[in-house]
Amino acid sequence: MSAKPILNALEATSRNFQQAARLLGIDSKLQRSLLIPFREIKVECTIPKDDGSLVSYIGYRVQHDNARGPMKGGIRYHHEVNIDEVNALAQLMSWKTAVVDLPYGGAKGGIGCNPKDLSTSELERLTRVFTQKIHDLIGIHTDVPAPDMGTNAQTMAWIYDEYSKFHGHSPAIVTGKPLDLRGSLGRESATGRGVVIATEALLAEHGKSLKNLTFVIQGFGNVGSWVARLLHEKGAKIIAVSDITGAIKNPNGIDIPKLLKHKEKTRSLKDFPGGDDLDPTELLVHECDVLIPSALGGVINREIAKDVKAKFIVEAANHPTDPEADEELSKKGVVVLPDIYANAGGVTVSYFEWVQNIQGFMWDEKRVNCELQKYMTKAFHDIKDKCKTFDCNLRMGAFTLGVQRVARATLLRGWEG
């Protein structure tokens, strides 16, 4: 992953914040206070490798804002983790949790390592040392981590176990846990399901429904495959899909359950009998009604934006559209549903997991999905209200909504300017 999309994500986040603050009339002192993180943590994590040699890594946790509640955000294991990236992502979590009205602030963390180079026991030792270093700075009502790039439910299980050694049984300390350790039903499909709910809300606003439209999905990992599966179940026609292994198209609609089986068997989209190969570079500019990028950031730049034929773009990935592309798409009248709202299903169901853990009472999957529908639908209407108030696009509607909620909480709790 190049540094360019990260830099763009950093720039775009501050640019969007500044624009939202201007529209809201937030004074410069409060703006500065909202941008400065509550706390930045940097720790050294030294572990013995399997061969007995010692190796040191740097771990980070940025706690951005706690005006609306405990801070929430993922922990990523990636060789390019750095404090600037973690800062930008923590800030983005503050606005994202506020957009869907969760009682949280934003945080983000990570360790600068390549998880592919570490054995399972080395990863466990590293996770436990990191937890030992930060256990008194996180907490059920302080800061609640979750999985992110390079981490998973097993990583969360280790954090939960290590934290509980110091603080007693504490399942609510992390979300995204395995089901056997009080993880939530519906968590695995949550981000994808949230994207579909958001898409339905957007299309309903334009008097359209899923059934009569064509969809193209970039990325077929956890999020992309769930989006495809759920859209297919609802009768939508998915005409092209891609992932790291290649791209396929079928103008009559791809049979998604068959494609999922094919991918499980061959670990690839290639040679799928129910579609033709497509040049992956052409996928984003393929003829369709709705384009759903759900892979990496920075994939739609100005050049690609000029050739995009979709009428709607739903950002399932984080920051797939760079700011120059945004301008280009808006000139063409393409409606973009921003990532800060569209992919918030994951953190919303993380909130439900935390609530269940605190209550000591687990919900069935139907209730999880029903509550998710409620939160995502309400958030969409809240964003639309802001778009009307400020006469702005959906991205700025979402940012003004998020920033205003955090600013209000800050002022109500007693901020001296």
Residue from 72, 108, 237, 386 carrying the catalytic annotation: 108
Question: Catalytic: 374?
Answer: no
Residue 362 DSSP class: P
Give the pair of three-digit tokens for residue 272: 């799928």
Residue 267: which residues within 8 A CB-CB, separation 6 or more?
245
Using only C-alpha atoms, what is the Rg of the chain? 21
The sheet carrying 276-278 orders its strands as 276-278, 246-249, 237-243, 214-218, 290-293, 312-314, 335-337
CB 21 within 8 A of CB 28: no
Alpha helices per DSSP H over 272-364: 302-307, 323-332, 339-342, 345-359
Calpha distance 63→151 (Å, rounded): 19
Give the pair of three-digit tokens for residue 233: 């179940």
3-class secondary structure, 110? strand
DSSP string, 186-205: TTTTHHHHHHHHHHHHHHHH
Tell me the one-letter amino acid at 188.
E
Closest C-alpha among 323, 280, 245, 279 to residue 4: 323
> Strands 143-147 and 71-77, how do they pair?
parallel
Q: Which long-range contacts does 377-385 make (Cβ < 8 Å, 24+ apart)?
A: 377/197, 377/201, 378/101, 379/99, 379/100, 379/101, 379/341, 379/344, 380/198, 380/201, 380/202, 380/205, 380/341, 381/201, 382/99, 382/101, 383/99, 383/341, 384/205
CA 98 to chain centre: 14
Active site residues: 108
